[in-house]
């Protein structure tokens, strides 16, 4: 079935009804005003951030403890193992939660992200289908977390891998990884960027108060966004890579890496845990980065069962941050020189279905994101039919519940004017 046209042939899926009214309520009526962010960072002239998640399930050490011993002991990658731009997946491979080679199947990604981080299955399914469809090998429903896997392991795997997926999956303004056309490298940590984040808590002298939370990460993202405008002549903020993958990359740092505890059921992310997940070692005055050695810290606790961060959590949190900082929603880029950022007209991009004004009304941003990510998938490919059917169970009820205007297409021809979009990375 063609998932693009879902909105017109929805079969309402009963089991999802329970979560949807809640999602709807949060998107339209969220009430908690987060004064900190908008006051501290006055360029946030959008709407106030609405709190979208909050653990209500407490803390259970036995089920939330993540093993780093035995079969899950840390083993650094060898010369033939693939590692790439995603620290979560690199850490999982280093601890044997997905194959150590760095090539895994959709099912292995789904199981590993749940076991290690408490990612919701709908979200891991989405992320892994994306990896497979855009950067991976459809017959084997797998992809490489680094560069394309075929030549390296002598396997029949095709696809670019996550590293080779610039503008398809991997994009600019990543938290610690550099912009491809700024550094010629989009998968390694740039120490300057890591330090920028690290130092956002340098004024907190009591180490037990340090917490790289969503407010800190949003401030970090604002400054990274500005840096790409100022330093990368080919900066491109794509409809998927910029508007959804980019926020996920920031939000995942706190939502998944933070250590959960009785005192902090939503987690607290301190300096040592941050360093470990970003493969940084050494004392504060001499921090060192070793590519690909991301580690799950010993004695670290993941999200609680029942408090998974899934697809709806990601959409809602992305929406609330996007409404507070509308610059994050500008699809467009620099035009070949720094400081030339120009956005495309949202109405042109979406065939008039949304415009800049209506995008921030009601559930429209969620509707746009939901449909844009589905439209980007190659739905005609027979090898994907089974997994795409599973996605429908997530997507259909939300489209219905949010009463989404139907997006027919994203006009890619508008994006081709941007040199950062049309340039092909050296393969």
Footprint of ligand NAG on this chain (CB under 6 A)? 40, 203-204, 259, 261, 273, 297, 299-301, 347, 355, 357-358
The answer to whether residue 175 forms part of the interface with ligand HEM (CB under 6 A) is yes
Nearer to ligand NAG, 240 or 273 (CB): 273
Q: Which of ligand HEM, ligand NAG, none interacts with 245 (beta carbon under 5 to 8 A by kind)? A: ligand HEM
Q: Which of ligand NAG, ligand HEM, none interacts with 355 (beta carbon under 5 to 8 A by kind)? A: ligand NAG
Q: Which of ligand NAG, ligand HEM, none interacts with 243 (beta carbon under 5 to 8 A by kind)? A: none
Q: Which of 88, 146, 149, 397 binds ligand HEM (CB under 6 A)?
A: 88
- Cβ atoms of 111 and 184 within 8 Å: the answer is no
Q: How far apart are CA 20 and CA 319, in angstroms?
A: 16
Q: Two tokens at 297? A: 């810290």
- From the list 147-155, 174-182, 375-383, 410-418, the region that binds ligand HEM by CB under 6 A is 174-182
Nearer to ligand NAG, 262 or 412 (CB): 262
The answer to whether residue 162 forms part of the interface with ligand HEM (CB under 6 A) is yes
The answer to whether residue 127 forms part of the interface with ligand HEM (CB under 6 A) is yes
- From the list 166-174, 356-364, 372-380, 410-418, the region that binds ligand HEM by CB under 6 A is 166-174
The answer to whether residue 128 forms part of the interface with ligand HEM (CB under 6 A) is yes
Q: Two tokens at 357? A: 């004004």
Q: Two tokens at 412? A: 């890619």
Question: Closest approach of Cβ 131 to ligand HEM, in Å?
Answer: 4
- Cβ atoms of 377 and 369 within 8 Å: the answer is no
Question: Closest approach of Cβ 328 to ligand HEM, in Å?
Answer: 14
The answer to whether residue 113 forms part of the interface with ligand HEM (CB under 6 A) is yes
- Cβ atoms of 341 and 93 within 8 Å: the answer is no
CA proximity to 131, closest of 146, 143, 121: 143
Q: Two tokens at 153? A: 């392991």
The per-residue b/e assignment along 224-260, b for 16 or more CB within 10 angstroms, e otherwise, is bbebbbebbbbbbbbbbbbbbbbbbbbbbbbbbbbbb
Query: What is the β-pairing status of strands 103-105 and 142-144?
Result: antiparallel
The answer to whether residue 87 forms part of the interface with ligand HEM (CB under 6 A) is yes
CA proximity to 135, closest of 122, 152, 151, 147: 147
Q: Which of ligand HEM, ligand NAG, none interacts with 88 (beta carbon under 5 to 8 A by kind)? A: ligand HEM
The answer to whether residue 415 forms part of the interface with ligand HEM (CB under 6 A) is no
Q: Two tokens at 333? A: 């880029």
Q: Which of 6, 37, 86, 323 binds ligand HEM (CB under 6 A)?
A: 86
Question: Closest approach of Cβ 123 to ligand NAG, in Å?
Answer: 24
The answer to whether residue 85 forms part of the interface with ligand HEM (CB under 6 A) is yes
Q: Which of ligand NAG, ligand HEM, none interacts with 261 (beta carbon under 5 to 8 A by kind)? A: ligand NAG
Q: Which of ligand HEM, ligand NAG, none interacts with 49 (beta carbon under 5 to 8 A by kind)? A: none
Q: Which of 30, 77, 118, 131 binds ligand HEM (CB under 6 A)?
A: 131
Question: Closest approach of Cβ 338 to ligand HEM, in Å?
Answer: 20
Question: Closest approach of Cβ 49 to ligand NAG, in Å?
Answer: 14
Question: Closest approach of Cβ 424 to ligand HEM, in Å?
Answer: 17
Question: Closest approach of Cβ 39 to ligand NAG, in Å?
Answer: 9
Nearer to ligand NAG, 188 or 270 (CB): 270
Contacting residues for 28 by C-beta, under 8 A, at least 6 apart: 362, 363
- From the list 206-214, 248-256, 289-297, 379-387, the region that binds ligand HEM by CB under 6 A is 248-256
- Cβ atoms of 394 and 13 within 8 Å: the answer is no
The answer to whether residue 94 forms part of the interface with ligand HEM (CB under 6 A) is no
Residue 108, CB-side half-sphere exposure with 13 Å CA sphere = 21
Interface with ligand HEM by CB under 6 A: which residues?
85-89, 109, 113, 117, 119, 124, 127-128, 131, 162, 169-171, 174-177, 245, 249, 252-253, 256-257
């Amino acid at each position: 079935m063609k998932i693009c046209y879902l909105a017109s042939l929805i079969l309402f899926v009963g089991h999802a009804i329970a979560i949807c009214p809640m999602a709807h309520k949060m998107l339209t009526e969220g009430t908690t005003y987060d004064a900190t962010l908008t006051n501290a960072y006055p360029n946030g002239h959008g709407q106030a951030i609405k709190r979208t998640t909050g653990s209500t399930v407490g803390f259970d050490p036995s089920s939330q403890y993540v093993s780093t011993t035995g079969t899950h002991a840390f083993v650094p990658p060898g010369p033939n193992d693939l590692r790439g731009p995603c620290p979560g997946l690199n850490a999982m491979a280093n601890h044997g939660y997905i194959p150590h080679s760095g090539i895994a199947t959709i099912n292995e990604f789904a199981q590993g992200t749940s076991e290690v981080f408490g990612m919701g299955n709908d979200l891991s399914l989405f992320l892994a289908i994306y990896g497979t469809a855009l950067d991976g090998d459809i017959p084997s429903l797998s992809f490489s977390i680094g560069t394309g896997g075929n030549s390296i392991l002598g396997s029949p795997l095709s696809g670019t891998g996550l590293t080779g997926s610039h503008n398809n999956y991997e994009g600019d303004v990543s938290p610690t990884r550099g912009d491809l056309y700024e550094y010629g490298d989009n998968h390694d940590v740039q120490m300057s960027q890591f330090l920028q984040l690290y130092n956002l808590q340098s004024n907190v002298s009591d180490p037990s108060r340090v917490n790289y939370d969503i407010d800190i990460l949003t401030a970090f993202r604002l400054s990274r966004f500005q840096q790409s405008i100022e330093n990368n002549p080919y900066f491109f903020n794509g409809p998927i890579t910029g508007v959804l993958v980019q926020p996920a990359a920031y939000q995942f740092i706190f939502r998944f890496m933070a250590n959960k505890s009785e005192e902090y059921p939503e987690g607290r992310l301190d300096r040592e845990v941050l360093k470990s997940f970003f493969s940084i070692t050494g004392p504060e005055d001499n921090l060192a980065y070793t590519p690909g050695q991301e580690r799950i810290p010993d004695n670290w606790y993941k999200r609680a069962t029942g408090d998974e961060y899934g697809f709806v959590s990601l959409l809602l949190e992305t929406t609330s941050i996007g409404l507070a900082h509308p610059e994050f929603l500008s699809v467009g880029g620099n035009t070949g020189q720094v400081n030339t950022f120009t956005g495309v007209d949202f109405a042109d991009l979406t065939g008039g279905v949304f415009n800049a004004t209506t995008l921030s009304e009601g559930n429209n941003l969620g509707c746009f994101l939901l449909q844009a990510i589905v439209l980007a998938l190659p739905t005609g490919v027979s090898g994907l039919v089974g997994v795409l059917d599973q996605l429908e169970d997530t997507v259909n009820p939300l489209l219905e519940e949010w009463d989404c205007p139907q997006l027919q297409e994203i006009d890619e021809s508008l994006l081709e004017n941007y040199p950062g979009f049309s340039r092909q990375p050296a393969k």
